[in-house]
Amino acid sequence: MDVLSFDTTHRNWYWASQTSKAIGQCHRYLDTFHRAAEHGIQSDHPEIIDYHPRAVVVIGRSNTWDQSKVKALHGLNSRMHGITVMTYDQLLARCSVLLGQVHNEQVLEAQEYSEDLSA
């Protein structure tokens, strides 16, 4: 699905129709969560000190985007509160980075463990 559309008259990017619908759906869900929090979460769960729900919309592909379109997505996201829109390619990139960090930590732990055994 298209994530962004470009308005040639005004020379700006805006949310494509399907993305806009998903954002609207998230707003409805977040409103529901906020109403529930006002009437029960705090008294039912005193361990919850802070309540800031967020929503992430994963939609479309960005592997062929140019830098201006990537910047446009970042700009549109920075103006929303509680909702982030990302593409499947961006999600994959984040997961790859996270898995790389986990792998590096495991390698370091294994090295420390082998050093402890040899000492």
In whole angstroms, how large is the CA radius of gyration of the chain? Answer: 21
Which pLDDT value is given to residue 112?
A: 75
How distant, in Å, are the alpha carbons of 34, 38, 44, 73, 119 from that of 87? Answer: 26, 32, 36, 10, 48
Residue type, 63: N
Tokens of 106: 């495991």
Helix (H) or strand (E) holding 29: helix 17-36
Which pLDDT value is given to residue 44?
A: 65
Which pLDDT value is given to residue 93?
A: 96
Q: Which residues pair with 14 in a beta bridge?
A: 5
Backbone angles phi, psi at 109, to 5 degrees: -65, -40
- Per this entry, what is the length of the chain? 119
**Structure pTM?**
0.78
Which pLDDT value is given to residue 49?
A: 62
For 20-46, the pLDDT digits (tens) are 999 999 999 999 888 877 766 656 666
Low pLDDT (below 70) residues in the chain: 39-50, 116-119
Which pLDDT value is given to residue 41?
A: 63
How distant, in Å, are the alpha carbons of 8, 79, 108 from that of 82? Answer: 29, 10, 36
Which pLDDT value is given to residue 11?
A: 96
Beta strands in 22-103 (DSSP E): 55-58, 83-86
